[in-house]
Chain A
Amino acid sequence: MSKLVPLPSKALVPERDADKFPILDVRHLGIDFGGLTAVDDFNFTMGRTEIGGLIGPNGAGKTTVFNLLTNVYRPTRGSILLDGVDTLGMSTHQVNKLGIARTFQNIRLFTNMSVLDNVKVGLHNSTKSNLFASVTHGPAFHKAERKAKERALELLSVFHMEDLADAQAGSLPYGAQRRLEIVRALATEPGIMLLDEPAAGMNPSETAELMENIRKIRDTFQIAIMLIEHDMSLVMGICEGIAVLNYGKIIAKGTPDEIKSNPAVIEAYLGKKEE
């Protein structure tokens, strides 16, 4: 784990990413839902190979941040620079093409499709086959399909799921569904991947395995990974930079050790100590 160093903008990123342009640079992001401020003044920077964590009590606005980052919601204030590009006004699929992929807290797979096809949907924008090729199934189509299939199996092998390629996604056991969602997100060739509670519902040994795999994905694909998680062993174990959100505002930022000893964080989680 590399230590955090400041960028010219004073945001902290891991030392190895310091000389590269940050993949994600969020400034003063905020959103109001009918007068209610859900997220406010959210500042966050992710290095190109950083594993970052977003934690906080339930209802703090963590998933809202993910929805803002993927343009599911339109921010009321602030800006999101994804790989240096301001994503304001783009649609969700456009920011995905630009390099941000995500998983969902409540798993969202294409349940009636096969595991392989789920991954192939992720490969959609890298599969080169136009509408004419798709309706005529010419040689170009078959070449593109073969490539997509090879790539999909390769990606599935990250989680040793190649054997399940023909299974119907909706019939997979819970853990496999969560893993498939990560594979599908990876297939879109993101620069940064957002994982929304990837360890939810997993037992400690599965969580440990997941932790290993997240690190492996970062190392193999050289991408940034930002995760929302309630499992502190996972967050403290793999995240390099952590932001703590409470009532829509960042109350603390820093390395796992700094977060662990931050009084504001302890207060947010455990409540104010009785005097």
Chain B
Amino acid sequence: MQNNQHNPFGIKMSKKPLTKNIVTLTALVIAFAVMLVLSEAGILSRHMRSMLVPVCINIILAVSLNLLVGFLGELTLGHAGFMSVGAYAGCLFSIAMKEILPMAIRFPLAMLVGGLVAAVFGVIIGIPVLRLHGDYLAIVTLAFGEIIRSVIINLEFTGGAAGLKGTPQDSTFVIAFIVVMITLILIINLVNSRHGRAIMAIRDNRIAAEASGINVTYFRMLAFVMAAFFAGVAGVLYGHNLSILTAGTFDYNKSIELLVIVVLGGMGSIRGSIVSAIIITLLPEVLRDLADYRMLIYALVLIIMMLLNASPRFAAVKAQFSPAALKAAAAAKKAAKEGNANE
């Protein structure tokens, strides 16, 4: 079954994921190098330069959310909540350590702190929430996200509604990119492992996964906590990229924006999430005239993507133009040609 032409039953072959991901990572490194050179050479506008870190942050957020939406198959609407918890934890850590530790030690530690605090919140929230599924899970994560936001606004040490000031602005493009690469490698590795298979098995059929010896509760929690961890790390990067951190930015609209990125890139596609995170982050800056229509476009993206995915006609068109199908068509053409030549 190496070749599609010997496959008359319409059996779909799955792709080799690892080679595909190596290509993705290499492309990303090249893109990074180009942007870095352009940025250092002063060719990039100041505005574009300011977008480099946010792009990295959104890649981390989207890929970690994809772990839940695409691989675990559960929609959570509280991703921004974990991001905010991580951001506040990391920023408070950095503020406290500003005079004590040098940046090279302080910042990685801050990211670790932010990630871990978000992960702990992931466990605390996950224990009640992960007993639920589907719509209930989505709405309860939304509820938790909103609770986190209102609590942060009402606390003293977080700066309240006025925001948290005094965080050292440590986030640079190079550091953010390194974090992106680490995140991607860890998540891609996870997905292509025994643990990742267990998570995807739960997505495809929870009951069968359980019957195959998968501890469904554990693996749902694992995915949830991992996603929370990386959202927290992204939050730290975010907090160290701004002069004031306000809880208002981590509302449910932020979670929706991340969902748009994941859905546009394709649920379960890491490469898709990366490309779509770059596009969605840069789009409003590139098309400034369309700024008012941004939300409208997001909404339409969500609806249209879902309707297209459900449409059998679109699936047929997509299959026709998939790389495998194109290769098969080319091979068939070649075979036909050779056949003619032999006659």
Contact = CB atoms under 8 A, between A and B. Distances in A.
Given A108-B207, A110-B201, A121 B214 contact: yes
B131 interface: no
Interface residues of B, number: 34
A93 B195 contact: no
Interface in A104-143: 104, 108-114, 117, 120-122, 124-125, 127, 129, 131, 133-137, 141
B222 to A, nearest CB: 7
Residue picked from B189, B203, B204, B222, most chain A C-beta under 10 Å: B204
Main secondary structure of the interface of B (DSSP, over half): helix
Contacts of B190: 134-135
B204 A97 contact: no
Contacts of B304: none
B90 interface: no
Interface residues of A, number: 48
Contacts of A121: 197-198, 201, 209, 212, 214
Contacts of A5: none
Contact of B212 (A72, A122, A133, A148): A122
B193 interface: yes
A101 B211 CA distance: 7
Given A110-B204, A167-B1, A101 B193 contact: no
A134 B14 contact: no
Contacts of A133: 193
Contact of B9 (A108, A109, A173): A173
A124 B12 contact: no
Contact of B14 (A93, A114, A120, A135): A114
15 contacts: A91-B210, A92-B211, A110-B208, A111-B204, A113-B201, A121-B201, A125-B213, A134-B189, A136-B189, A137-B192, A163-B1, A167-B13, A168-B12, A168-B14, A173-B11
Interface of A: 70, 72, 91-93, 96-97, 101-102, 104, 108-114, 117, 120-122, 124-125, 127, 129, 131, 133-137, 141, 144-145, 148, 163-164, 166-168, 170-173, 184-185, 187-188
Given A93-B215, A111-B204, 8 more contacts: A72-B211, A110-B208, A117-B200, A122-B213, A134-B189, A166-B1, A171-B12, A185-B212
